[in-house]
Chain A
Amino acid sequence: MKWLFKLFMKRSSWSFPYFLFLLVFVVLPLVLIGIYAFQDDAGKFTLANFSKFISNPEAANTFVYSIGIAIITTILCIVLGYPAAYILSNRTLCRSRVMVVLFILPMWINILVRTLATVALFDFMHLPLGEGALIFGMVYNFLPFMIYPIYNTMSKMDHSYIEAAQDLGANPLTVFMKVVLPLSMPGVMSGIMMVFMPTISTFAIAELLTMNNIKLFGTTIQENINNGMWNYGAALSLIMLLIIFATDLFSDNGEDRASNEGGII
């Protein structure tokens, strides 16, 4: 009995269920994607899946288009979210806590529900569904994920940096450009990670808001796998994973600062 108790008390034993979960639901699928991507239907090693992607203009175009949409969404989120976060972090607005909750509130509602509501809204206002609606839906869905990390970094920023800059002769614009903006970059980096990566792989929003007229890369993968083309789908997933991995590396220097200064991840 004693050994059982000892085992129970050790902190490392507590991590075992999580470890098992990660192994079964994260590591194993990743390995399977890796294996499937280099196999043909018969299970033989092949690079045909990748050459099919490169030679097939439709898939490659969708891929480039998806990245384009993701970049546009991310930029729009920064443009809209940064000023919002800046206003929210302003301590003179005493009701800002309420404002923050109002901005974050949509995050609590299921993404599909929100998107269906957007479709209904466009219908009601007689606006056409399509590319515009797609970008609107993406920005609407992902904006809170941009605002929150930036708001977090800004509201934790030591006010004495701003005073020090003023003291050294910086006018309000210079204070913003030379102090507030650089010090809030970790938050922006977290925001990009939170918006750009999910937008590449999203397909539900694209399906609903474009009446299935515009295909994103996520849709292509989903269609292939639905049609039983597991190997090709795995290869496409692997390509997408590599892209996500690359953005992760790209923003790596910002990331450790973000964790220090209260980014969302």
Chain B
Amino acid sequence: MKDSNYIIEFSHISKSFGEKCVLNDVSLYVKKGEFVTILGPSGCGKTTLLRILAGFGTVDEGEIRIAGEDITDVPPHERPVNTVFQRYALFPHLNVYDNIAFGLKLKKVKADEIETRVRKALKMVGMTDYEWRDVNSLSGGQQQRVAIARAIINRPQVLLLDEPLAALDLKMRKDMQMELKDMHKSLGITFIYVTHDQEEALTLSDTIVVMSEGKVQQIGTPTDIYNEPVNAFVADFIGESNILNGKMIRDKAVEFMGLEFECVDEGFGENAPVDVVIRPEDVYIMAHTDSGQFEGVVQSCIFKGVHYEMTVLTANGYEIMIQDYNAFEVGQTVSMIIKPSDIHVMRKERMCNKFEGTMVDATHVEILGTSFVCNEVANVAGGEKVLVEVDFDKIELMDNKEDGTLMGDVRFILYKGDHYHLTVRTENNDNVYVDTHDVWDDRDIVGIRIQPDDLRITFV
């Protein structure tokens, strides 16, 4: 597992703020000279991970090593890393020169060497002749450049960048992305870059680490992550995608949208339920013809600059998103083809909700911290440990939270062509997975109800 080539090693890092677990057993190994991006939605723990590496946060469990040395308890000023902060954090009482020279002056570097190095750093970020300017008089982009110069001048082993381009406008962001990439090449320093912008991550990185809910979901090259997402979350977060329920009929044959398709995946077993991911640009769309694999009716068509984005309702009632250079009129019947290599099949993380529970009495079971009414179970004294299974579509969500047996909020929404797959977080931080045709919004507070018939109870 361990390799001396690794410059950064996070081993089994866990961290909680009060009740809330922000990092859950995160392990991550970074090779020297890599450009690694930690990508995830806000609140996924990515910034916490970066702050732990910089030394601004402590870990509850686990170990961090830089260049083989355990730095878990080393204070920030003794770590061989430098950070570019999201809000730049340039010292307002110092000018550009003194801001950049701050680190070198602390290390008691000779004055003439400081001067050469500051000029070199300024040249590198394209800010020559700005030495004596007041930092408050600089634009956002210029402040960002100074912040980068201030960090790289110390020649750290690792440069940490915390959403450094988030505050810049689109055009400036694109320019800075290219400059950062060039800088990474010429400096040869390991970059750890935190962002929630998937496009930025795909453009810049050698390796992308996708995080969600305090866990690493997938680590891989941009191409891997885009083409072979390991689960529905990654597929949904990186780029646009159609995610559908499917069934692996046998090797190299998968069924979804009620049709059988040829694919390239093997080894799932016969009739195994799977998630199927199809990128919108991988669906070939054409005027109605008999040579298509399936057909549908165009529901909407929006011009997106380079391509058109269309929603097509198939004959079996599935909605899929398609991107193509040609526009098709709304209401037009079209035919579509998907190549076997463009069908990405992923094993389902779960088939139904599984909760550990306790029998209260013959007609009540306690799961998710609440007592639910169930069908009468024979020979129950109370206190028996049980496993309760509930199908995704058997969980009812209520607008009015008082109507439910317990309360939760919608955390993650996945559109699966003909229904939504929701992750609902209960008050006790348990996840309940729900299939529904109703439209809910992220962070909606809902009441959760389960009918007695739908609780499948087995003793353990």
Contact = CB atoms under 8 A, between A and B. Distances in A.
A174 B106 CA distance: 8
B75 A165 contact: no
A161 B91 contact: yes
Interface string B250-291: 000000000000000000000000000000000000000000
A166 B75 contact: yes
Nearest to B54: A167
A168 interface: yes
B92 interface: yes
B15 to A, nearest CB: 17
B33 interface: no
Interface in A147-181: 158, 160-161, 163-171, 174, 178-179
Most buried by A among B76, B87, B150: B76
Contact of B76 (A167, A174, A179, A183): A167
Contacts of A171: 75, 77
Contacts of A164: 83, 85, 89-91
A160 B89 contact: yes
Contacts of B76: 163, 166-167
A68 interface: no
Bin chain B's interface residue count: 20 to 34
Nearest to B86: A160
Interface in B41-59: 54-56
Bin chain A's interface residue count: 10 to 19
Contact of A166 (B55, B87, B151, B154): B55
A29 interface: no
B110 interface: no
B107 interface: yes
Contacts of B90: 164
Contacts, number: 60
A178 B151 CA distance: 17
Contacts of B83: 163-164, 167
Given A171-B77, A182-B93, A183-B92, A160 B87 contact: yes
B106 A168 contact: yes
Nearest to B82: A167
A158 B136 CA distance: 15
Contacts of B54: 163, 167
Given A164-B83, A174-B106, A169 B89 contact: no
A39 B81 CA distance: 72
A63 B82 CA distance: 55
B404 interface: no
A168 B75 contact: no
Interface of A (DSSP majority class): helix
B292 interface: no
B102 interface: yes
B141 interface: no
B103 interface: yes
A208 B150 CA distance: 57
A168 B93 contact: no
A158 B89 contact: yes
A165 B55 CA distance: 12
A168 B154 contact: yes
A178 B102 CA distance: 9
Contacts of A166: 55-56, 75-77
B100 to A, nearest CB: 10
B143 to A, nearest CB: 12
A171 B75 CA distance: 9
A170 B85 contact: no
B71 to A, nearest CB: 14
Contacts of B77: 166-171
B314 to A, nearest CB: 51
Interface in B129-152: 150-151
Interface string B105-145: 01100000000000000000000000000000000000000
A178 B76 CA distance: 16
Most buried by A among B54, B103, B107: B103
Contact of A160 (B55, B85, B107, B154): B85
A169 B87 contact: no
Most buried by B among A164, A166, A171, A178: A164
Interface in A180-206: 182-183
A161 B89 CA distance: 5
Contacts of A168: 77, 82, 102-103, 106, 150-151, 154
Contacts of A163: 54, 56, 76, 83, 85, 89
A188 to B, nearest CB: 13
A169 B106 contact: yes
Contacts of A174: 106
A33 B77 CA distance: 59
11 contacts: A161-B89, A161-B91, A161-B92, A163-B54, A166-B76, A167-B82, A167-B151, A168-B103, A169-B78, A170-B77, A174-B106
Given A160-B87, A161-B92, A167-B81, 6 more contacts: A158-B87, A161-B89, A168-B102, A168-B151, A169-B78, A183-B92
